[in-house]
Structure formats: structure tokens, C-alpha cells
Amino acid sequence: MFRKLMTLEEARKAIANQFKPALLADEIAVLLEAYNRVLAEDAVSTLDIPPFNRSTMDGYAVKSEDTFGADENQPAKLKVVGAVAAGEQPTLVLRKGEAVEIVTGAPIPEGADAVVMIEDTEREDDDLQVFVTVAANENVMKLGADVKKGDVIFKKGQVLGSSEVGVLAAMGLTSVKVLRIPMVAVLSTGGEVTEPGKPLPPGKIYDINSYSLSTAVVECGGKPVYFGVVPDDKAALHKAMVTALASADMVITSGGVSVGPRDYTPQIVDSLGKPGIVVCGIAVKPGKPTTIGFVGEKPVFSLPGNPTSALLIFYLLARPIILQLAGRPLAQMKIVKAVAGAKMFSAKGRRTFVMVKLMFDDSCRLIAQPVETGAAGAITTLAKADGFVEIPENEQFVDTNQEVAVALFRSVLGKP
Amino acid sequence: MFRKLMTLEEARKAIANQFKPALLADEIAVLLEAYNRVLAEDAVSTLDIPPFNRSTMDGYAVKSEDTFGADENQPAKLKVVGAVAAGEQPTLVLRKGEAVEIVTGAPIPEGADAVVMIEDTEREDDDLQVFVTVAANENVMKLGADVKKGDVIFKKGQVLGSSEVGVLAAMGLTSVKVLRIPMVAVLSTGGEVTEPGKPLPPGKIYDINSYSLSTAVVECGGKPVYFGVVPDDKAALHKAMVTALASADMVITSGGVSVGPRDYTPQIVDSLGKPGIVVCGIAVKPGKPTTIGFVGEKPVFSLPGNPTSALLIFYLLARPIILQLAGRPLAQMKIVKAVAGAKMFSAKGRRTFVMVKLMFDDSCRLIAQPVETGAAGAITTLAKADGFVEIPENEQFVDTNQEVAVALFRSVLGKP
């Protein structure tokens, strides 16, 4: 079953051709628990905000015309006829020559059209002197000035942070319609891996990928469905894949896709439904033995067994799909400029990704230091690398001290 | 009760003098749910990794000395005596002149000390020709080469992302000791606010701050305890504050701290325990009516009622405290350089924070456009602002087109 290796761009195109980011169903989230959720519909205000003409200062509500011409030398003289506290609905109606004590946030009484700041007045009993002229609506926030009933406050697709949750609360909402979180089945294959928590038989190692990939799914807004290690036999893998497809919106496997007799995953994907495998091997290093398919509309990513390779391909190809399933903006990976701390070689004819750790040298240059990876399959590479440097197919190496762009796995300076 | 306004730096110092970031108790987290948690102790490996000498290539395990001098023209000739699959413990012992077929990840059989890549061999039945010389340990990852039993893998305080969770899984762990998440009681005061979900009486507005601040607590790694709106009377507020202090590690209130008869919060904090109020008013705009105290070791932040002011002071002063309680690194706010899109004025003698929205102009300059705020108390300011520009006390304004540093509330370009 030979198929030519695709370039990374060809693989991206093959995925895009099949992937229809059909929006997931809605669900209701309690607003206090809605942090980082995605709005499933436009949020439309059911209220005018503020819901009344509102004082923006502590002072006195007045008829602005009563203050015309007033200044330090010629104060306007008014009679204080009452007071309005915040949260109180004033019942009195202001007449010419009258003023009402008012605090920030309180409703302007009928008859008044402006507020004089307390600093611009002097009061003795009920006699008030006003030392400034105020215009109509001065220090008044009019009903609906911030938000009008029927205004679209947030568009469908808005991700909710503290400000957005605050604004939705201002509408009196306690719950909100959000997109369901995409479920991503994560399973490992390969006879050499054992699930953490079980005794480690001789010759085996613990499964890393189910854990690192499940966590990476959470990081980009998905919900992992942990399947653990599937025994390296065709019937077991077939059964697990059927269950995974039935219980999730997307499947990610790792291991078991080297060329060899145990290469079941692509066969099973092809057998389960159209269009089947659309990417079979990518001209990248690491990550060559990656296959990607679709069973109906559900994407199935089969990543390499090497933990660093699996996570790299996840970032490059699977993460954008999960973000789209979740209805989230396709946030680019953050890029920082640095200086190569050592010569980095590329693999002939393959896009090469060199894992690097960032550090400052004595002259405060940001250095991208390659961390050992690849063949050695060192699992701690995972935790040591801050990001990667990409070397194009047509370049043989990046020289020491050359400027490089480092794509960050996470925000590094001031983690997390 | 007049106390002089502090500068922002004085307020920070007054907080630092009282705050002892006593670490919270530990708890056990299931590793698959440990994303973004903080390690409560050093993670020490209980295993050598790899746990055996491991092939890093598909090929043949050999005695390296059997290949000495071999090349394209003079292949070494060996006899294939078996095969080792990944996950299998080889039982045979390799003798001189013998080779064993091996795959990546499989244990090196006894007697062998190197692996020849399959590409460098030719096989006919059990006769193998080797066209290269391999050195001892070539293509072999030695037992413990990645991690030695007893090595400290991560230090206490490490925040767990996908890589770290993967490495902990490699140790066979399924759970991990993490710091408890700090509980932060959030309550609103002020007669003018009503809880979302209830009918809105005339003259009142919905409470925003309990929602925006609760969500901001989640954003920086805390767990909010929602108290909602506390009636604007001293006994009710006293009772709520006692309950809040008993049920949380920190308390955040908002509203009710203007000068006036309803200024109960600082009095109550002072009455509940030493040292009481340590910051009473800050020379910043917005955010002046902020008070901060400690009851025993528990910080109590009383933020202004204006939603934008409350959230700003939260970011400037409360967030660092929550991060420290959580045992997290004090991540700085992200700063981007932009160009002022309009003249921004400062408040006399006060550090001024101007909320801005970022946008690109036609010449692709990043523009910091002020959004209306402050007096108007517009609640949508919250959602419109991407960050703020800080104007020092001794400067009167920032001019249009002047370069400014914008501190971001969140990652803006490619939210969230």
C-alpha cells in the first residue's frame, strides 16, 4: 500500500477538502461557569442600559437652565427639596429653582435634566449655591445610552472572558446558550505500551501519548475521551475505533502506523466509511508516519508513536481542527525571534522541525537551543522544549547565530 | 476617617508587607484532570527511562565488533537467529556472528550492543549482509539515558501542561499531588444593584461585578465563591463578611466604598481582626475608592462599584495575590507597543489608566483607540477594551500618534 508522502501544505489541503466544521449542538451554560465557552447565538439585549437616566456623579440634580450664567462670583441659588439614593426610584418632580441631592448611579428625578458635582456647590440647610453652569444632560447617562434593547451585544462565536460575562450579567442573564465542547477520543496503540497505573512488564514502557494528547485536547478547548491502550490486534483495534467514532466528534490515535505487519489503523479507517484515509505519510521530520482520514464527517488522526512527534503533529494539524469544531478563532501559534544556539540540520527533502529551548545568553540575546529528540525518542524532550524552529525542505541547515523564528508551544516568558 | 491617598507603589508595598503567601494544603489530582494545576512537591522518578536498552531504529541488533571494517564493498556477513518486537522481552542471547531482527522501541537482546538500520542491510532468508560499521551503542538508547530513577523531573510549583502530564504518565503515574485551588469569596454591595435572574426593580441595575470578578478569579487560577449582592445594611454586610472569611482564602467586594454614610466595608474589615485596613484610597484613575485590608492572613479587597474600575484594580492588585496564593509564577501582563489613536488626558496627581481598543489603521500601524469610560460608567467599556495605557502622575497627557505601551487584559491578536 504505497502512497507518496505529501508535503505539509498538501496534507493541510487534503484535510481542508474533507473537513466540514459543522457546528456542534448548543447547550445551556450557567453564566458563572461560562468562562472560556463559545456563544452559540448572538447575544441580544433585552434591556435598555442604563434602564433609567442615571447620575454619573455625586451632587445635585437640577434643571440646567437654572444654572445658566452661574460662576464663582455669581452662584445660582436653589432650594434642596429632597435626596435620591442609588437604587431608589425618585417620586418627587423637580420644579424651577429646586435641586435634589443625588449620588452616583441614582436615577435623575423627573423635571431635572443635569447634575451639578458636589464640589461645585455650597449648601447651608436647604439653601444651595451652584458655582458653575451645567448644560442639559451634563453628568447624566441617558436611558439606553450604553446598550439599547435589541442591540446585538456579542456575536455568535464570541469566546467568553471576564468582561463578556460581566456584560451578560448586566442584561440580567444567569445562563447562556453556548456551543457544546467537542469530544475527542484519544487512544494509544502499539504492543510496547502499558497504561500508567498498571505494573510495567519487562520490555514495555508506559503510555505517554494518551495523557499528553488528552491534555493537549483540553488546552485547545476540547474534551478528551480517554480510551487508553488498545491491544495491538486488528479485532480489538477495530472494536475500539467503532466505539470511539460513536462516542466522540473526532478520534486521535498514536503509535501503530509504521510500515509493517501491525499497520492496522489506516486499513480500519478505510474500512469504516468514506472517504477513509486522505493523508498517508507526510514529508516532515519528525512526524512522517502520520495518517489522517475521515469516517463520514469525523476526522481520525493517527499520529506517530514517538511522544514528541505525536505532540508536534497534533499542534500542526489536529489543533486547528479541534478549534474549528469548537467554533473558536484559529489562533496562530505565538512566534518569537531568537538566535540559533547551535547548528540545526534538516532531513533531506523533508520539512524539519527542531525542538528548541529558549534561554537568554550573557549578552541578553534570546537563544534557541536545540533539545535532543528524534531517534533517541527521549520523552523528556517533551517537557524541555519551549517550541520549534521550522527548516524548509530546500534548506540544509540553520547555522549557529542565525536568526530563527520559534513557534511556541505555550507562552514561555512568564509561563503558563 | 480621612487617610491620605496612597500611590500605586505605596499600595503595593502595604499589601506586600502584610501578605504571607502561605502555601495552601495539598490535594490529589487525577493526572488526566491535572491540566493547569500546580505541583505541590518535586516529582521524582521511580523508574529508569527507558527501563531497558532500547532500539531507536528498525533493523538488526548486532555485536558492534562483528561490523568493524564493513562497508559497501566489504559487507559483514551475519546469521539472523530471531526477531524482537516492541514490547517483547527477548529471551535469546546473541553470539558472535549473529543478528536479531528488531523494531524501534524494542529491547536490545543480551549479547548485542548496537543496531544496524534496515536500510544498511540486505537479507536473504537468514543470511544478512551489513554494509556499514556501527559503533557500540549506536542506535541504542541505554537504560536510564532519558531519566534515572530518583531524578527530580519537575520542581514543586511546576504548572502542568500537556508535555508535563505526558512525562508524569511516563513514570506510570495516574495521579499527582497538587496545590489546592485558592477559594475567593466574591460579593457585591450597594443599594442600586440586583442579582441577575431576579426582576429588576425601578431605579436599580443588575449586578455586574460579582460575575465579571468571579470569572476573572477563574482566569487567574482561583475558584470563586459567589455571594451575590449583599443588602446595603451594616448587619447584613458584617454577617456576609464573616461567612466569606470563614469559607474562603480571600475576599473581594465591590461597591459601597465611596465616602458617605454607607461606607461600611472598611469599618467591618477593621472590626474583624488585625491588621485591618492597610490601603484606603489610591491615587489612580479610575479606581480611587479602593480599600484593601487583611483579617489575620486573609486579604480583603474592596473594589469600586464601577465595573471597569473594579476589573482594572483587580488586574493591578488582586490578580498577583491570587496567583501567589495558587503557587503560580507572577506572570506579567502582556505588553504591546501601539500608537495613540487620540489624545489621552490624565487626572491631576493621579496615575491614570486609559482603556483602549487595539486596531490596525490603513498603513498597518497598531492603534490604541481610547474607549469611553470613567464617569459615564458604561458597562460595555468592559467588553470593548483590549487593555490599557498607563499615564504617569507627572504627565498631563499622551498626544495623538505618540507611541504607547498597552497592557493587555488577554491575548488579543487571535483571542482568546
Q: Domain spanning A27-48+152-179 has what CATH number?
A: 3.90.105.10
Backbone angles phi, psi at A172, to 5 degrees: 90, 5
CB < 8 Å from B in window 349-408 of A: 375-380, 382-383, 385
pLDDT band at A378 (very low <50, low <70, confident <90, very high): low
Indicate the DSSP class of residue A316.
I
Measure A260 CA to nearest chain B CA, in Å: 10
**How confident is the model over B324-348, as a mean pLDDT?**
89
- Taking an 8 Å cut-off on Cβ atoms, the answer to whether A169 and B329 are in contact is no
- Taking an 8 Å cut-off on Cβ atoms, the answer to whether A166 and B383 are in contact is yes
pLDDT tens, residue by residue, A343-356: 999 988 899 999 99
Percent of chain A exceeding pLDDT 70 equals 94
The whole-number pLDDT of residue A265 equals 87
The whole-number pLDDT of residue B258 equals 53
The whole-number pLDDT of residue A86 equals 84
Distance between CA B286 and CA B361 in Å, rounded? Answer: 28
Residues 6+ away with beta carbon under 8 Å from B319: B216, B220
pLDDT band at A306 (very low <50, low <70, confident <90, very high): confident
Q: For residue A382, what is the nearest residue in chain B, using CA coordinates? A: B163
**How confident is the model over A295-316, as a mean pLDDT?**
93
Instruction: Tell me the average pLDDT of chain A.
Output: 91
- Taking an 8 Å cut-off on Cβ atoms, the answer to whether A215 and B162 are in contact is yes
Say which of A190, A203, A211 has its CB closest to residue B32.
A211
The whole-number pLDDT of residue B3 equals 58
- At B69, list the grid cell: 571494517
| Domain B8-24+181-325 architecture | 3-Layer(aba) Sandwich (3.40)
Q: How many CB atoms lie within 10 A of CB B221?
A: 22
Q: What is the ipTM of this complex?
A: 0.90
Say which of A31, A214, A375 has its CB closest to residue B56.
A375
- Whether the CB of A211 is below 8 Å from some CB of chain B: the reply is yes
Contacts of B34 in chain A (CB under 8 A): 215
Distance between CA A298 and CA A318 in Å, rounded? Answer: 12
- Taking an 8 Å cut-off on Cβ atoms, the answer to whether B192 and A410 are in contact is no
Residue-wise DSSP of B35-71: TT-BBSS-EE-SS-BSSS-EESSSEEEE-GGGGTT--
Q: A205, A319, A334: which to substitute to probe chain B, counting the most B Cβ within 10 Å?
A: A205
The whole-number pLDDT of residue A413 equals 39
Say which of A165, A192, A383 has its CB closest to residue B86.
A192
The whole-number pLDDT of residue B413 equals 39
- Taking an 8 Å cut-off on Cβ atoms, the answer to whether A383 and B56 are in contact is no
Measure A52 CA to nearest chain B CA, in Å: 7
Beta bridge pairs of residue B179? B26
Range A54-141 has CATH code 2.170.190.11: yes
Q: Tell me the CATH class for A335-408.
A: mainly beta
Contacts of B165 in chain A (CB under 8 A): 211-212, 214-215
Contacts of B50 in chain A (CB under 8 A): 205
CB < 8 Å from B in window 162-201 of A: 162-174, 190-193, 196-198, 200-201
Closest to B134 in 3D by CA, of B148, B118, B147, B145:
B118
- Taking an 8 Å cut-off on Cβ atoms, the answer to whether A383 and B159 are in contact is no
The whole-number pLDDT of residue A178 equals 97
pLDDT band at B414 (very low <50, low <70, confident <90, very high): very low
Contact B404, B389 (CB under 8 A): yes
Indicate the SS3 state at residue B106: coil
Distance between CA B52 and CA B89 in Å, rounded? Answer: 10
pLDDT tens, residue by residue, A175-217: 999 999 999 999 999 888 999 999 999 999 999 999 999 999 9
**How confident is the model over A26-30, as a mean pLDDT?**
97
Q: How far out from the chain centre does Cα B362 lie? A: 35
Contacts of A218 in chain B (CB under 8 A): 35
- Taking an 8 Å cut-off on Cβ atoms, the answer to whether A173 and B47 are in contact is no
Residue that has been written with the C-alpha cell 534561554 in this structure: A359
**How confident is the model over B121-146, as a mean pLDDT?**
94
The whole-number pLDDT of residue A87 equals 87
- Taking an 8 Å cut-off on Cβ atoms, the answer to whether A205 and B51 are in contact is yes
**How confident is the model over B67-72, as a mean pLDDT?**
95
Q: Do domains A8-24+181-325 and A27-48+152-179 have the same CATH topology?
A: no
Q: What's the CATH number of domain B26-49+153-179, 3.90.105.10, 3.40.50.720, 3.20.20.60, 1.10.10.10?
A: 3.90.105.10
Indicate the DSSP class of residue A317.
I
The whole-number pLDDT of residue B255 equals 87
- Whether the CB of B231 is below 8 Å from some CB of chain A: the reply is no
pLDDT band at A146 (very low <50, low <70, confident <90, very high): confident
The whole-number pLDDT of residue A374 equals 52
The whole-number pLDDT of residue A3 equals 58
- Whether the CB of B345 is below 8 Å from some CB of chain A: the reply is no
Q: For residue A260, what is the nearest residue in chain B, using CA coordinates? A: B103
Contacts of A36 in chain B (CB under 8 A): 416
- Taking an 8 Å cut-off on Cβ atoms, the answer to whether A154 and B380 are in contact is no
- Whether the CB of B59 is below 8 Å from some CB of chain A: the reply is no
Backbone angles phi, psi at B218, to 5 degrees: -60, -45
Measure A274 CA to nearest chain B CA, in Å: 32
pLDDT tens, residue by residue, A223-250: 999 999 998 788 999 999 999 999 999 9
Parse chain B into domains and list their residue ranges: 8-24+181-325, 26-49+153-179, 54-141, 335-408
For the CA atoms of B204, B209, B214, B220, the dihedral, rounded to the nearest 10 degrees, stands at: 170
Indicate the DSSP class of residue A31.
G
Residues 6+ away with beta carbon under 8 Å from B276: B269, B270, B293, B294, B295
Distance between CA B15 and CA B182 in Å, rounded? Answer: 18
Backbone angles phi, psi at B202, to 5 degrees: -60, 140
- Taking an 8 Å cut-off on Cβ atoms, the answer to whether A159 and B416 are in contact is yes
CA A256, A257, A262, A266 torsion-angle sign: positive
Distance between CA B309 and CA B347 in Å, rounded? Answer: 14
Closest to A339 in 3D by CA, of A311, A366, A319, A312:
A366
Q: For residue A159, what is the nearest residue in chain B, using CA coordinates? A: B416
The answer to which of A121-135, A371-385, B267-281, B384-398 has the lowest mean pLDDT is A371-385
Beta bridge pairs of residue A154? A43
| Residue A86 burial (10 A CB sphere; 0-12, 13-18, 19+) | buried
Percent of chain B exceeding pLDDT 90 equals 75
- Whether the CB of A29 is below 8 Å from some CB of chain B: the reply is no
